[in-house]
Structure 1
Amino acid sequence: EDLLVVLATVVALRGLVAPIALPRVRPARAVAAGVAAYTLLMGFVVGSRHAALQTHALDLGYYVQVVWSIAHGHGAYVTLPAMHAWGDHFSPILYLLAPLGRLAPGGSALVLTQTVILCSGAVAVFVYAARRLHSVSDAARPAAALALLYLANPSLHGINIRDIHPQAFAVAFLVWAAAAFDAQRYGWCVLALVLTLGGREDAAIAVVGFGLWLALARRRWALGAAVVAASVLVLLVDLTWVMPYFRGSPYPHLDRYRHLGASVPEILVTLVARPWRWAPIVLTLPKLAYLAAMLAPLGFLPLLAPRALAAALPGLAMNLLSFDPVLFNYRSQYQSFVLPFFVLASVDGYARLRQWRASEARGGGGVRASVVPSGGPRPVPRLRVSATRVLAFGFLASAVLTARTVNDFMVTRWWPNDDR
């Protein structure tokens, strides 16, 4: 892992000295090479971390137990602490991983599976971007660059390295859902959303974001509203009936938001009717720095596509409304419901930037005339921003922000006490 950080820094410094000449290859081949390189390198990192005892009982050991127990017909039971796992986090997608509990039991297979799933998101970005940029000349090339930018994202690396979390699969699944929707493959879109919901109970909040994306970015108002309503219903059913049934007590993880209310409806009322309760929590310097760290590796392109970016608001609200610093750590697994929408918005933002540049080119220069109150025209300079330079900035920011992941749950913290 340290070697990868050093190499990323060297490449970034080399790029500052002079442009790096890259071989001209077909965009699809560049994406395939990037996917293969990411799978091998990140697979080595997560595999070697596990072999070097740098993975943790929570959460890798927890999910190893769940998968093993399901595979051997014992149900989703764990001993960290002893309970039915669905009473802590409802992750039925783990039933699909149950064969690993027999074929390759242990943590290595799970962390490698997570790596492959997250890596597949690059293919989804390429497919989505190539279709979205169809009006751009040679659309496949910027689509490939955006796919590689996804693979270079430090938030993706942090999610990937941080043991295994089923909700992390949402990063790839949601981009696949968007690509399938734009391709009018609605069945595949629904499947991707169902898989997202199966990752964890709060993944319904990410699907609420997808509903907003449908309504705002694709102007499918009725469909988007239906997806939002269905997702909220799923969330309420999971938190009110399903998980308390397995746990034997109320859902425990709303404690992070107890300053906003004791239940989901009460929290929603506070968000709508009592903004003075949460605005001071959100508008803090650490959280603004967190937003900058999320946007910089994407060249701040999402800001150019506010309709698509609005889909990230539900996931961002989960993180920004909490006092827990892990939630607004840009390399934690809690970015799984934010990163996919930032990536989708970056594609739309790139498309808008290219449209602006094309309009400037057709307009014949970098200035335009505007009417001032005196009635006379005044030249107004246009913002000259190269789309290529924006992508280069994103890659550089990714290299700068790539740093060692420090997991809050150290092995010693979870070592059994004498009485256990």
Structure 2
Amino acid sequence: IALLYLLYPAQQFALVSDFHAVTFTAALLLFTLYFMYTRRTVWLFIFAILSMACKEEIPVLIALYGLWSILLQHRLRSGLALMVLAIGWVGLTLLIFHFFSPTGHPLLASRYAYLGNSPVQIVRNIVLHPVSILKQHVLEHNHNFYIRLLLNPAGYLPLLAPWVFVLALPSLALNLLSSDQNMYSGFFQYNAEIVPVLIFSTIEALVCIIWLVQWVLNHVRLSRGKSQESSNPPVRTGSMHRWVSPVLLVVLLAYVLFSTVKADAFNSNMPLGQGFHWPSTQITAHTKLAQHFIDMIPRDASVSAQSSLVPHLSERP
């Protein structure tokens, strides 16, 4: 599972893209989910706050985590407190945008303007036109490929734990509904908050598969035991059943690892990925020209630069 997390292509693309604070949520939300699962409330709130500080949409996820904890863990007080904290954070964020943003709203809101001019209109259009939304933003080739790109490294196992996978739906919807193709390309930072949910839903799916197989075997054993009560000697199957769970776990983990490595070979920043090449150390005429322009910039000047030039300018006083 640790290898799945480290080798996840969406995780890699988030890391090698431009620096964005939301990339930290790939780890922070993972801890948030872990402490929510293990019912360690103090640490849950610490990592929830750290996660919400990374980007404006993360409080929506945290509110959903709180609701999930109320419904599935029956933790009313901590779940409700998490929801109140997240909703308050959203309100404060919108207030700051209103008074301090030149546009009065988040800059990325324009990517959803085709759906409406307000959150109410956006929700209304989605509810009233579900078929067209489904066709254009889920079944359409590029959008569908994006979904498969996210699920394929885990062998589609997250779909077997929908009660956990549902926690990724807000972020997934933001990406799929965006008018910016980069958000559903799978190549940038927009998937950072989705990866932790995919990891946990994969773990949950593995546990459920093993539990289901064990339940079926126990049921079969009990049925056979009743039918063979008069047999002499009785058939002993207990030793075989003890090996089923560990063997099945190894097989499932091998399947997950195979799916991850296969996805990396197809589309990743790993050396085994298609099209990967080691960074060139050769100084070309192009790099010399770029350095010439960089040297012309006064050391005390404020600079706005393209991503490829930022590393060469970041060490200035």
Instruction: Give the structure-1-normalised TM-score.
Output: 0.53
The answer as to whether partners of 1:244 and 1:250 remain within 8 angstroms in 2 is yes
Alignment of 1:197-276 (within 5 A): 197-215=52-70, 217-220=72-75, 224=79, 227-228=82-83, 230-239=85-94, 241-251=95-105, 252-276=107-131
The aligned counterpart of 2:147 is: 291
The answer as to whether partners of 2:7 and 2:261 remain within 8 angstroms in 1 is no
Identity %: 23
Larger Rg: 2
Instruction: Please tell me whether residue 155 in structure 1 is matched to residue 10 in structure 2.
Output: yes
Alignment of 1:326-341 (within 5 A): 326-341=182-197
The aligned counterpart of 1:174 is: 29
The aligned counterpart of 1:282 is: 137
RMSD: 2.9
Change in CA separation of 1:172 and 1:152 when aligned onto 2, cut-off 3 Å: same
Q: Report how many residues are paired.
A: 247
- Kindly provide the amino acid, as one letter, of the partner of residue 391 in structure 1: V
The answer as to whether partners of 2:4 and 2:257 remain within 8 angstroms in 1 is no
The answer as to whether partners of 2:31 and 2:47 remain within 8 angstroms in 1 is yes
The aligned counterpart of 2:295 is: none
Change in CA separation of 1:286 and 1:248 when aligned onto 2, cut-off 3 Å: closer
Q: CA deviation at 1:233?
A: 4.2
Measured in 2, the distance between the counterparts of 1:168 and 1:243 equals 22
- Kindly provide the amino acid, as one letter, of the partner of residue 171 in structure 2: G
The answer as to whether partners of 2:23 and 2:192 remain within 8 angstroms in 1 is yes
Q: CA deviation at 1:253?
A: 1.8
The aligned counterpart of 2:181 is: 325
Q: CA deviation at 1:215?
A: 4.2
Q: CA deviation at 1:256?
A: 0.6
The answer as to whether partners of 2:70 and 2:79 remain within 8 angstroms in 1 is yes
Equivalent residue of 1:326, what SS? Answer: helix
Change in CA separation of 1:330 and 1:402 when aligned onto 2, cut-off 3 Å: same
- Kindly provide the amino acid, as one letter, of the partner of residue 14 in structure 2: I
After superposition, the C-alpha distances for 1:53-111 in whole angstroms (9 at most, x for unaligned) are xxxxxxxxxxxxxxxxxxxxxxxxxxxxxxxxxxxxxxxxxxxxxxxxxxxxxxxxxxx
Measured in 1, the distance between the counterparts of 2:209 and 2:149 equals 21
The answer as to whether partners of 2:155 and 2:255 remain within 8 angstroms in 1 is yes
- Extract unaligned runs of 5+ from structure 2: 225-247, 276-305, 310-317
- Extract unaligned runs of 5+ from structure 1: 1-145, 369-384, 413-420
Higher relative contact order (CA 8 A, sep 6+): 2
Measured in 2, the distance between the counterparts of 1:231 and 1:281 equals 31
The answer as to whether partners of 2:152 and 2:259 remain within 8 angstroms in 1 is yes
The answer as to whether partners of 1:175 and 1:340 remain within 8 angstroms in 2 is yes
The aligned counterpart of 2:39 is: 184
